[in-house]
Chain A
Amino acid sequence: MRRCLECAKKEPDRRCVECRYFVQPSPLRRVPSPPVRVLLEDEHGKQYPAHILVLNPREFGLETEAPVPGRYIIRLQESLWVEVAGLPFKGKNNVHVFEILCVHRKQGTAPRLSNEEYHLLTGSAGELVEEISRHLPEHLQDLVREKLLAEVEKSELINALKVGKVMKYEAGRFRYLSGQADLDLPMEEAEKLMRQAIRQSEHRREVIVSADGQKVFDLHCVPFDHRSGGLLAFDITEVIEKERKMHQQEMQAYREAIAAVTGGRLYLVNGEEMEKVISEGTELARGEVRQTHNIPEARRVMREALPSLDSRRRHAIDLCLSEALTNALKHAGGGWWQARQLGDTVRIIVQDRGPGIKTSELARATLMQHYSTKNSLGCGFTLMLYYADHLYLNTGPSGTTLALDFTVVPEDGSKQDKANERG
């Protein structure tokens, strides 16, 4: 008692954490960095915030305004709480040793923390949460910390969900901390990602597919220092599968809606269907577009390939070919085209390897007259929808293919001009 009182007078700046007299030195003594935040609760339910500055499995060195001596409860998890008593003769100012009297857990009580509980406070998930929340704006830190601690530290919950695994990486090795132990992670990739995170000292996240292609993992690596970090892994296979199904359903709904509003003229087709569309019939002509002058060139080639076309039909094909090629040039920097003949149908196909049209923009890009993502008049599609008999569109992140069908009017003129019918 005297020692701490004297210390307070003689060496007010000396920190208790560094004092061998404070929390007994032992191989298990730990100084969590940053200090772990907890709440002390007295018998009346009054709460005092506290920081665990140093600990061993029997004692906490706490910085708190809670009165000493006094008995308190610290809730670490829902079904895990610790009864402590502050020792007035060990510590000074608002820093004191709190002896662990009893650890209450679902399975019973004990006079000290188990290894697992101890790790909870000294490293692992607690550390991970601290690390994650440290970079947040101050007003969010406590909130996020609280939530994350509740989520991540509840290994029972993660176990129940059977989706996640928490590991610590240190000196080139992963150590299992909590969660689903039998989750078969691609450790090589995880280590690569972890090393990147440590090297760049920033959070890294990657979605990785297992070697057999059966599982998809969402990996989060958080560096702690230059040699260690935390790994959070989630099995998201089912989530991905669900998303894929939802996307398919969404596309199907789009297909039906677009086919309906265009009077069955515009079809969104998948890659397989498009393969069929672009290989039917026989080739009439083909070309490439890299610069604007390739577009009038393409029209000329088409006119030569179909010399006996009536003027309205020729104009329709000229215009649609130009619009499709202009789109490929504008949005993908270029592309290829070909014309094919199937009976009395001429099919113009334009392909590019651009970024594609997003599903969310598809309806607007294809149907709204003056809409365009590239600030042009945006009427290209309107014109193609008017002049072509059928359009097939396949678009995705690896490119866009558009096929346009024109019914070639027989020489005798028995078939009435479509433009006249609509006009």
Chain B
Amino acid sequence: MLKVDVHVVEGVCRIVLNGELDVETVAQLQEAIRKVEEHTLEVDLSGISFVDSTGLKSLLDISNEWRQKGGQMLILRPQPEVAEVMRLVGLDRLLAQNTALAGEEREEQDDRSRHRE
């Protein structure tokens, strides 16, 4: 089960995921991503309790796609188990705190964000 919410604030697209990101649900994330036009993409994993290698692969693919377009994708707030899996396969480099662009300041603006769905 996966819930995907898309918010756009000041040219930054934030995707908030809730549930499990795995081989069964990954298509939902890919579907939501297709409509995104913003150059900066943030994926909030705080509501994700489980992610498998297929889910990780889709995050990597999205990141590569955004980089090719000259944009950037960041991953925010993974739970400890998910963060550990990301570190094991070398995806921790996509985490927001490991990059120059931190998403913390914009979090407060979430309430005023435009809801897409």
A residues contacting B by CB (< 8 A) are 292-293, 295-296, 299, 311-312, 315, 318-319, 322-323, 326, 329, 369-370, 376-380, 382-383, 386, 419, 423
* Of listed B1, B24, B53, residue having the most chain A CB within 10 A: B53
For chain B, the count of residues having a C-beta within 8 Å of the partner chain is 18
B residues contacting A by CB (< 8 A) are 1, 20, 22-24, 50, 52-54, 56-57, 60, 81, 84-85, 88-90
Q: How far is the CA of A383 from the CA of B60 in the complex (A)?
A: 16
Q: How far is the CA of A139 from the CA of B15 in the complex (A)?
A: 66
Question: Is B56 within 8 A of A379, CB to CB?
Answer: yes
CB neighbours (8 Å) of B81 from chain A are 311-312, 315
Tell me the smallest distance from the CB of A337 to a CB of chain B, in Å. Answer: 15
CB neighbours (8 Å) of A380 from chain B are 53
If A326-B53, A383-B53 touch, whether A377 touches B24 (CB-CB below 8 Å) is no
Q: How far is the CA of A256 from the CA of B96 in the complex (A)?
A: 42
Q: How far is the CA of A292 from the CA of B23 in the complex (A)?
A: 6
Additional A-B contact list (5), CB under 8 Å, known A322-B52, A329-B23: A326-B23, A377-B56, A377-B89, A386-B88, A419-B84
Question: Is A377 within 8 A of B50, CB to CB?
Answer: no
Q: How far is the CA of A227 from the CA of B7 in the complex (A)?
A: 78
Tell me the smallest distance from the CB of B25 to a CB of chain A, in Å. Answer: 8
Q: How far is the CA of A369 from the CA of B87 in the complex (A)?
A: 12
Q: Which of B20, B24, B88 contacts A379 (CB 8 A)?
A: B88
Q: How far is the CA of A329 from the CA of B24 in the complex (A)?
A: 12
CB neighbours (8 Å) of A311 from chain B are 81
If A322-B22, A419-B84 touch, whether A376 touches B90 (CB-CB below 8 Å) is no
Question: Is A379 within 8 A of B50, CB to CB?
Answer: no
B88: nearest chain-A partner, CB-CB = A386
Question: Is B50 within 8 A of A315, CB to CB?
Answer: yes
CB neighbours (8 Å) of A319 from chain B are 50, 52, 85
Question: Is A295 within 8 A of B23, CB to CB?
Answer: yes
Tell me the smallest distance from the CB of B21 to a CB of chain A, in Å. Answer: 11
Question: Is A379 within 8 A of B53, CB to CB?
Answer: yes
If A295-B22, A369-B90 touch, whether A326 touches B54 (CB-CB below 8 Å) is yes
B59: nearest chain-A partner, CB-CB = A377
CB neighbours (8 Å) of B90 from chain A are 369-370
CB neighbours (8 Å) of A386 from chain B are 88
Question: Is B24 within 8 A of A382, CB to CB?
Answer: no
Question: Is B24 within 8 A of A295, CB to CB?
Answer: yes
A320: nearest chain-B partner, CB-CB = B52
CB neighbours (8 Å) of B52 from chain A are 319, 322-323, 326
Tell me the smallest distance from the CB of A422 to a CB of chain B, in Å. Answer: 10
CB neighbours (8 Å) of A379 from chain B are 53, 56, 88-89
Q: How far is the CA of A312 from the CA of B22 in the complex (A)?
A: 18
Tell me the smallest distance from the CB of A368 to a CB of chain B, in Å. Answer: 12
CB neighbours (8 Å) of A378 from chain B are 53
